[in-house]
Structure 1
Amino acid sequence: MLGSSKKTKAKVDRRDAKLSMAHFYASFIALALGGLAGLLQVLVRSGKFELPFGIGYYQVLTVHGVLLALIMTTYFIFGFQISAVSRTAGTLSNGARKAGWIGFFVLTIGTLLAATMILLNEASVLFTFYAPLQAHPIFYIGLTLVIVGTWIEGSALIASYVKWRKANPGKVSPLLTFMAIINTAMWFVATIGVATTVLVQILPWSLGLVDTIDVLISRTLFWYFGHPLVYFWLLPAYMAWYVIVPKVIGGKLFSDSLARMSFILFLLFSIPVGFHHQLTEPGIDPAWKFLQVILTFLVVIPSLMTAFSLFGTFETVGRAKGAKGLLGWFKKLPWGDARFTVPFIGMVAFIPAGAGGMVNASFQMNQVVHNTVWVTGHFHLTLATSVVLTFFGISYWLIPHLTGRKLTKKMNKLAIIQGIVWAVGMTFMSGGMHFAGLLGAPRRSSFSTYGDAPQALEWIPYQIAQAVGGTILFIGIILVLIIFINLAFFAPKGEEEFPVAEAPEKAEATPLVFENWKLWLGITALLILFAYTIPLIDMIQNAPPGAKGFKLF
């Protein structure tokens, strides 16, 4: 077992492991298909490749966005959170496990319905499915089932948490379990927006029950969901950074209380900020946009808390191993352990990703990059690098833990190579996107749609860089799939640790106020009402002629 000389006794229950593995199988299938679509997409954007068999560019773009940004991540996150709760709060009850399986199958049915419509070119509406783009009703029904499935699974996690609290009155819950519940609660609150616009507006419109819908309300409800979706992806990576990585490198938690507070701040400030995705849209008072920009920048606080905690842990561990000087601790980190190195690359990528996010959220600088491929480059640094590389790092120990196998030296070395390949590929692709975006290259467009633009020649070198980077990234996906298949089916039998860092012996007790859900959910509700009530009333009262808003008939 890499990174540890002891065999762990703490294992995820075999029945819970099967449930988690079902999610990981689906997640990596989505990664393979979505990654192939992404390769085709960047090749088309380079202007040097045409799609065969009459496949449309926006069809490929929709496959790539939906499978990777929504399906792959959702399956992975719930698979990870199920195993984390089982590992730290105890084996799931039979009822919770049954609910988990029901949720998984509902989620899978929804995925298959939506994917079928995309493949039939009946739903080439992109990941955001903005109206007035319209898909087949089955696509929206599929998305609805995806959300419902996650609600069922999330309820199973919450039931396990409640069971632990009842069995341990007056005690602070295990940190990983607490983090999983925070992320689940945020998901529940956020998905209310997308569920509302799909069920009340878009699905009746797609079925022909109404002729028009209010596009502004639809987009507002989508981004009420769309921005916390980013943190739904990010917080599981933070779970690994806060709790898993310190154990892997031989350290302890930097601060249990700081970790819980940062997660609570993400819950509070991640949802009432959707307007910063709509800064150029008419119909929203600039004062409300500016308010949500301020709330958006507040999320920087827990991000900086996380960076402080992580690098504080790294330095503490390094100096305990004899490091000297200002940066001597850096050399003492276990660079030969993929469980650390691969997530660390993701951590480093989050530095420029966060800086780019501040540009996107700015009331002024957003005007320069809005709706350019810069935004896509930022998206690929955050989700497709920081988050995805951390997910890969998690899988390199979690998959063998769940399947009763070992992370061998050969697979560990290949995993480090995969992380480096991914970093190189993303440097080309995301870098090309950022530079092209600064020159005004549009997002969501193929070469055929902008090739005649006067400035298109300036974009070509950066579009080629994206194609080179995308090709390298696809090689990285192939390496990941090889490692996953090996760890799931062919690696030697054995025990692989599920690393969970402990608090230092002399650490202060964590305050019970962090478990006060009435307080934190109440503040979250107040912030949402404050940020959205008046703007939504204004949108409904001043809807353009023919827009139906929330009216079905």
Structure 2
Amino acid sequence: MMISSQKVKVDPRDAKLSMAHFYVAFTALALGGLAGLLQVLVRSGKVELPYGIGYYQVLTVHGVLLGLVLTTFFILGFQFAVISRTAGTLSNRARKTGWIGFWIMTIGTAMAAAMILLNEASVLFTFYAPLMAHPIFYTGLTLVVVGSWIAGGAMLTSYIRWRQHNPGKPSPLLSFMVVVNTLMWIVATIGVAATVLLQMLPWSLGLVDTIDVLISRTLFWYFGHPLVYFWLLPAYMCWYAIIPKIIGGKIFSDSLARMSFILFLLFSIPVGFHHQLMEPGIDPAWKFLQVILTFLVVIPSLMTAFSMFGTFEMYGRSQGATGLFGWLKKLPWGDARFVVPFIGMVAFIPAGAGGMVNASHQLNQVVHNTIWVTGHFHLTLATAVILTFFGISYWLVPHLTGRILTKKMNRLAIIQALTWAVGMTFMSGAMHAAGLLGAPRRSSFSTYGESAQAIEWIPYQIAQAVGGTILFIGIILVLYIFINLAFYAPKGEQEFPVGEVTDNAERTPMVFENWKLWIGITVVLILFAYTIPFIDMIQNAPPGSKGYKLW
């Protein structure tokens, strides 16, 4: 059953575990955001980095801290709170396991960050070979992944305990969503763990002279694309099951929400080749197959849009709205808990369209390795997902710390979201436009000097710098709000909103809880999409300096 009482709180012991994750996440936001500001300023050609700091060093700091550290720690902290709120207080063993996972991840993060700051690991977010980092960097990344597995195990055991105490009942929707995202993460990170442990780390230690670059890139993108959905699904949790409660409505369909999450589990992993469409060594037929599987992910995205706008319209009609769009006026536009994630939802519309371009074989050739891809990345992760995460933190942090979201902080949160939207419009819009002109994805202005192409890109680079500066102001506002809600806001009871399903919704089938079925189908799809291509890569690996011929 769905727990809906406003009096239900996350246990204070579980709240400390969640907040520990948030402290690391928002520290990463501060440092990664500063690196992002320096990055766009350098790219504009108007600023030079001091003290011998390299452009790619700053780029790596920005990508790793925001793309990996911020997201992973925030998501795990959020999911621990969700499990505690909907499936019951964590057991002592699960909570202890969660803390062990947290400290292993934190130690790993510190190791990787130290190497980047010492300029021993300027290998970018994707750390492609033949770029080589210090062994401590790879060891740190391994600890982050292992720590996340341990934390995920604590969540899964809490869900299993709920099922044992409630046989024959569908699990709480939010707990079900946490299980899907955790399983997807565990299966996906097997790829990055394999390439780091079996290829990168022995190579950086000097135990082997060469590695197969094609296999390392393939293993990375086996992980890299479901990573996008690992970021996205917690935002969907908020959109599906929390936003309806915030606006005063009800969840459109419990079954539709669960089906969309199952489809993400099935189709998010066996699609990594669509990031490698321009690479040799992979049979075009297998690329085409994974492009088809990639486009199947559009279905749960459209289901989500249908469900959310169905929820909005039902609420608006219940408040007396008439006409085609009259329900829009009835939404709580003064409530930051709704407005901030809603801006993220709207941003996901052009972001999804750009993703379809990236996954299309012919169109991908136009934008491949251009800054268009970076612009798309900032619409999906840095707008749709991150704004939703900010919206979650504005009520979850005070709930966990025993404080309240004041009117002042609520108003400032809306200002922050609008600031973010303006900054991202400048920066991401300029990136998309410059990408269509061929501007490269990862280059500073000095790379091309005063060439005709570089001069053509200058207006767009300046627009990126303007947008990045505005975004940094947004980051300062977020950090101010977070510190206020964590330490200084008035004491009180802040609701953890959990939506109820509309009365006329269909009953949720128990087949959604059949994990043997869904995990089995996922494994079959992965084996079907990757087994033969991997055999082909190994059998036809180039001699001598293996995959280096790609470079």
Q: TM-score scaled to structure 2, two decimals?
A: 0.98
Report the residue type matching 2:140 in the other structure.
G
Q: Pick from 104, 108, 111: which aligns with 2:102?
A: 104
Corresponding position of 1:403: 401
Corresponding position of 2:272: 274
Structural mapping, 1:478-517, within 5 Å: 478-517=476-515
Report the residue type matching 1:502 in the other structure.
E
Q: Distance in 1 between matches of 2:541 and 2:452?
A: 37
Corresponding position of 1:165: 163
Report the residue type matching 2:104 in the other structure.
V
Report the residue type matching 1:440 in the other structure.
G
Alpha-carbon deviation of 1:453?
Answer: 3.6
Q: Pick from 23, 38, 56: which aligns with 1:25?
A: 23
Report the residue type matching 2:99 in the other structure.
W
The answer (yes or no) to whether the contact 1:227–1:270 under 8 Å persists in 2 is yes
Alpha-carbon deviation of 1:486?
Answer: 0.3
Alpha-carbon deviation of 1:504?
Answer: 1.9
Report the residue type matching 1:284 in the other structure.
I
Q: Does 1:51 align with 2:61?
A: no
Structural mapping, 1:321-400, within 5 Å: 321-400=319-398
Q: Deviations over 1:383-420 (max 9, x none)?
A: 00000000000000000000000000000000000000
Report how many aligned residue pairs link the two structures. 544
The answer (yes or no) to whether the contact 1:7–1:497 under 8 Å persists in 2 is no
Q: Pick from 140, 143, 152: which aligns with 2:141?
A: 143
Corresponding position of 1:119: 117
Corresponding position of 2:39: 41
Q: Distance in 1 between matches of 2:320 and 2:507?
A: 29
Report the residue type matching 1:426 in the other structure.
M
Alpha-carbon deviation of 1:546?
Answer: 2.0
Q: Does 1:259 align with 2:257?
A: yes
Structural mapping, 1:150-299, within 5 Å: 150-299=148-297
Alpha-carbon deviation of 1:547?
Answer: 4.9
Q: Distance in 2 between matches of 1:204 and 1:156?
A: 31
Q: Deviations over 1:210-257 (max 9, x none)?
A: 000000000000000000000000000000000010000001110000
Alpha-carbon deviation of 1:155?
Answer: 0.2
Q: Distance in 2 between matches of 1:10 and 1:240?
A: 18
Q: Deviations over 1:136-171 (max 9, x none)?
A: 000000000000000000000000000001011111
Alpha-carbon deviation of 1:509?
Answer: 1.5
Report the residue type matching 1:27 in the other structure.
A
Alpha-carbon deviation of 1:458?
Answer: 1.1
Report the residue type matching 1:401 in the other structure.
H
Q: Distance in 2 between matches of 1:267 and 1:450?
A: 42
Alpha-carbon deviation of 1:8?
Answer: 1.8
Q: Does 1:14 align with 2:1?
A: no
Alpha-carbon deviation of 1:56?
Answer: 0.2
Alpha-carbon deviation of 1:507?
Answer: 2.6
Alpha-carbon deviation of 1:7?
Answer: 8.1
The answer (yes or no) to whether the contact 1:63–1:118 under 8 Å persists in 2 is yes
SS where residue 364 of structure 1 aligns?
helix
Report the residue type matching 1:72 in the other structure.
L
Report the residue type matching 2:19 in the other structure.
M
The answer (yes or no) to whether the contact 2:225–2:271 under 8 Å persists in 1 is yes
Corresponding position of 1:70: 68
Report the residue type matching 2:266 in the other structure.
L
Q: Distance in 2 between matches of 1:536 and 1:450?
A: 38
Q: Distance in 2 between matches of 1:64 and 1:116?
A: 14
The answer (yes or no) to whether the contact 2:83–2:178 under 8 Å persists in 1 is yes
Q: Deviations over 1:97-135 (max 9, x none)?
A: 000000000000000000000000000000000000000
Report the residue type matching 1:278 in the other structure.
Q
Report the residue type matching 1:37 in the other structure.
A
Report the residue type matching 2:133 in the other structure.
A
SS where residue 254 of structure 1 aligns?
coil
The answer (yes or no) to whether the contact 1:288–1:531 under 8 Å persists in 2 is yes
The answer (yes or no) to whether the contact 2:37–2:465 under 8 Å persists in 1 is yes
Q: Deviations over 1:480-522 (max 9, x none)?
A: 0000000000000000000000112333220000000000000
SS where residue 305 of structure 2 aligns?
helix
SS where residue 233 of structure 2 aligns?
helix
Instruction: Give unmatched runs, 5+ long, in structure 2.
Output: none
Distance change in 2, residues 1:299/1:161 (3 Å):
same
Report the residue type matching 1:116 in the other structure.
A
Report the residue type matching 1:496 in the other structure.
Q
Structural mapping, 1:450-529, within 5 Å: 450-529=448-527
Q: Let me know the Cα RMSD of the aligned residues.
A: 0.9
Distance change in 2, residues 1:547/1:157 (3 Å):
farther
Corresponding position of 2:58: 60
Q: Pick from 424, 438, 441: which aligns with 1:440?
A: 438
Q: Distance in 2 between matches of 1:431 and 1:548?
A: 39
Q: Pick from 303, 311, 314: which aligns with 1:313?
A: 311
Q: Distance in 2 between matches of 1:240 and 1:171?
A: 23
The answer (yes or no) to whether the contact 1:59–1:121 under 8 Å persists in 2 is yes
Instruction: Give unmatched runs, 5+ long, in structure 1.
Output: 1-5
Q: Distance in 2 between matches of 1:423 and 1:231?
A: 22
Alpha-carbon deviation of 1:548?
Answer: 6.1
Report the residue type matching 1:93 in the other structure.
S
Q: Distance in 2 between matches of 1:142 and 1:458?
A: 41
SS where residue 455 of structure 1 aligns?
helix
SS where residue 472 of structure 2 aligns?
helix
Q: Distance in 2 between matches of 1:329 and 1:292?
A: 40
The answer (yes or no) to whether the contact 1:190–1:225 under 8 Å persists in 2 is yes
Corresponding position of 1:3: none
SS where residue 440 of structure 1 aligns?
coil
The answer (yes or no) to whether the contact 1:88–1:177 under 8 Å persists in 2 is yes
- Range with bigger deviation, 175-184 or 453-462: 453-462
Alpha-carbon deviation of 1:457?
Answer: 1.2
Q: Distance in 1 between matches of 2:472 and 2:511?
A: 46
Q: Distance in 1 between matches of 2:124 and 2:292?
A: 29
Q: Distance in 1 between matches of 2:487 and 2:365?
A: 50
Alpha-carbon deviation of 1:444?
Answer: 1.0
The answer (yes or no) to whether the contact 1:93–1:160 under 8 Å persists in 2 is yes
Alpha-carbon deviation of 1:463?
Answer: 0.4
Q: TM-score scaled to structure 1, two decimals?
A: 0.98
Q: Deviations over 1:350-382 (max 9, x none)?
A: 000000000000010000000000000000000
The answer (yes or no) to whether the contact 1:251–1:313 under 8 Å persists in 2 is yes
Q: Distance in 2 between matches of 1:290 and 1:7?
A: 49
Report the residue type matching 2:247 in the other structure.
I
The answer (yes or no) to whether the contact 1:7–1:495 under 8 Å persists in 2 is no
The answer (yes or no) to whether the contact 2:434–2:457 under 8 Å persists in 1 is yes
